[in-house]
Amino acid sequence: MATVSHKIDPSNIPSHVAIIMDGNGRWAKRKGWMRLNGHQHAVKAVRETTEAAAALGIKFLTLYAFSTENWNRPKEEVAGLMELLVGTIVKETPTLMKNKIKLQMIGDVTSLPPKAAAALQQAIDDTSHNSHMTLVLALSYSSRWEITQAVKAIADKVKKQEISVSEISEGTISNHLQASFMPDPELLIRTSGEYRISNYLLWQLAYAELYFTDVLWPDFRKEDLHKAVENYQQRERRFGMTSEQINKS
């Protein structure tokens, strides 16, 4: 298990950290390599970040691995990514088991190639009894897609008179989202120096602290995760209240 920075307060660890893993293509381009080489080298960042998050006591780590918009990328890159996904899941499952990490997914699994979907489901099944941390892969995911699916499900229940319009609340919407099994993220990290949330967990990020780093994802390591958590711990989370109200509570 990864060592933890002495600067981090163990009593103030975010229970859910979400990461937009950005910069693989630029990392490869700077080296004069194909974009897929960047994705391949990103696997080490995923492994080390996952182990570091588990060591910190983070309960949920959600990684934005592939968006619905990414299907528009060159076919060769998408095909290579899907092959890499299958190989990585198979190779990394023993590490997940060793660290007692459960694997979950959010996104449109029906759009994944059958081989990738099968490998993913096998890993989810194999790790289902692990309880130290949950690693969530956002695959073929977009928040607008997730919210649209939730609206359709709620509308169907209204049509069937299982729920009335007046009964619909924020909780109703939250409970119909794919990510309803986990708490909202307290911390969002985006790598590569971009300042966007790119259609990622839009509903759930309402009160998240946002942290942006210039580090490209293939170079991201446990020290970078520690810096993000240290920065998070220096912030005052007010949820619409004043500092005085927070300090009194």
Distance from C-alpha of 138 to C-alpha of 193, rounded to nearest angstrom? 21
Contact between residue 116 and residue 85 where contact means Cβ atoms under 8 Å apart: yes
Quote helix, strand, coil % in the chain, to nearest 5. 50, 15, 35
Selecting among 9, 24, 37, 70, the annotated active-site residue is 70
Measured between alpha carbons, how far is 124 from 103 in angstroms, rounded to an integer?
5
> What tokens were used for 155?
């509308």
- Is 22 considered catalytic here? yes
Which residue of the set 22, 24, 37, 99 is catalytic? 22
Q: Are 23 and 244 in contact (CB under 8 A)?
A: no
CA dist., res. 162 & res. 95, Å (int): 44
Is position 156 annotated as part of the catalytic site? Answer: no
Active-site residue set: 22, 70
